[in-house]
Structure formats: C-alpha cells, structure tokens
Amino acid sequence: MKKKILATTALIPTAGVAAAGLVFFHKVFDRIEGVWGIERTDREPGDDQYLPFRPKYEEVKRMIHTLPYEEVTITSFDGLKLYARYYPNPDAKRAILCAHGYRSTAIGDFYASFEHLYKEASLLLIDERSCGKSEGSYSSFGALEKKDVQLWAEWLDKRVRHKLPLYLYGISMGAATVLLASVLKLPENVKGVLADCGYTSGNDILHDVFKDSYKVKPRLMTKVLDLYAGRLGHFHLKDCDVRRALLNAKLPVRFMHGLDDDFVFPRNTQRNYDACSIEDKDILWVEGAGHACAAVCGGERYLAYMDAFFAEREKEKG
C-alpha cells in the first residue's frame, strides 16, 4: 500500500511539469493572431530607444507602402504556403533576402536599413512561417525556418535570373535563421550573410528567458519543451543550434549587435563569431543599442559597415 502511495505521489510533480511544459510550449511557439498576425503589415517600434527615431520610422513606413512590390508565394518542404513582398529595383547591383525576428514583421524590423539598401538592391521581405500572411501553426526558432530561407534564396536567384549577387540578412531570430541556412545548399550567387543580434541556439535563448523571467528550472523546462516540440511541432531545439552549424561555415559573415541588448545578450554574437569556422568574419558592436536597435542607434556607421561588406564581396566582379 505504501509503495502505491509513494508511486502516486511521485507522479504529481511529473504531471505538473508536463502540464506546465505544454502551457509554455503554446505560449512560446504558437502563432499569435491579432498581435503580429496576418492583419498586421508592420510593427511599431516599442522600445524606448526607438522614440527619438519615431518620425523617421513613420516617414520610411509611408515610403515603403508607396513603392511597387510583388506579392509572391512559395510552398515549404512540409506543404505550407509562405508569403513575401518583393521590391524589384531595375538598377539593382545586388539582391537581399530579409528575415525578420520572432513574431515580428520585415517592415517593422528592417525599416532603419530598408531605404538605404533599396538604393542599390532588390529586396525580398519574407514572412516567416506562422507570421504575417505565411501559413503555419508554430514558430520553430529557425529549426524549420532555415529550410524556408533556403527555398526563398532559390526563388530570389531565379527571379534575378542568376545575374546578381545575393545576401541573407536577418535580425534576432531571423539572424539565427539565416546563419543556420548559410550552411545548407544555396545558389552559388549567395555571397554572404548579415546577422544582427542572433542567438546561439533555441535552447540557449529559452534557458536565458526562463532563468530571468520565470521561476522554473531552465534545463528541465527546455527538455520538456523539446519533447512537445518534437511531438507537436515536428522539430527539435538541437536543429536550431547556430554555433554547431557555424563550425561548418561556408559563407563570409558580418555580425552586428547592440551592447545594451538585455534580451539576446551580446555574448550570443561573440560565441557565434568564435564558433564560425570561416576566416572572413567580423563583428560590429553598437554602443547604447538594445535588442534589434543596432541599425537604429548605429545609423550611418551601421549602414557603412554593410556597404563595405558588399564592396568586398563584389570587387572581384568589378
């Protein structure tokens, strides 16, 4: 009798952890309609650091919405309809694929660099799976999105008729995603990667969030989340390990990160840089910039850093 009581008692915390894990899985990975959902086409910057730049944001947003663009779709490897806006530039010297952050939008994340990049590039602003107009029930922190970026890169290369150098540019989760995609088979015209404030892995960023924001054991909870991710989302956190991917880096990388980022800590970019096996790599640190604010706070220095990268990669063509 005592053994049965002890066995039943032992199941109580296990059941509690499982229940909490399911709640957190849906909280973390579920598509959110009505917040960053299909009816939202851009995100208003909410961080205090954006406030001085709000007039510029509004100006650029209006400009973006007046530009001609093409609504394009592709089908993912697992049958989802994925959406993007393509902004063709008839005088383009390059084409850039822009991957936004977690539950965000491309216009919201890239407004600080869009106008500058568009002067010389055609831009493909994708909606990550489960965001915007793209289908999908769950975000996967780059585990599945990396394959979507691979397909989008192939689409973009065909769209420019294989004649322009291509770049992958991501912010936050988008940065992690393009870094993960950079080691996959890509069109030969993909010349480099721009990664702004990306994390080292899905496991690491969840660990940091649970440690700082919730009174739960991070390691235990991430293990439980990974179990649900496999069963419900058909992915695992090990599939979005950026550092492991970068041990086999194939493309030159320019990392950018704000030194005041208190969400994806700057150490993430330093560790990604250290793991990156290719010699052609560099980091731009932006003082005073919080999460996803490096382009806003870095201004001309940030833009010049990207321009120098393009010039280096394209000088052989000239």
Domain boundaries, given as residue ranges, for the chain: 1-30+204-239, 39-201+241-314
Q: Tell me the three state secondary structure of residue 24.
A: helix
User: Which pLDDT score, from 0 to 100, does residue 77 have?
Assistant: 97
Model confidence pLDDT, tens digit, residues 93-127:
999 999 999 988 888 889 899 999 999 999 999 99
- pLDDT for 84 beyond 50: yes
Q: Which CATH architecture is the domain 39-201+241-314 placed in?
A: 3-Layer(aba) Sandwich (3.40)
pTM attached to this predicted model: 0.89
Q: Which residues contact 236 (CB under 8 A, 6 or more apart)?
A: 143, 226, 229, 230
For the residues of 80-92, what is the DSSP string, one character each? -EEEEEEE--TT-
Q: For residue 11, what is the enclosing H or E element?
A: helix 2-29
Model confidence pLDDT, tens digit, residues 33-46:
643 333 344 445 55
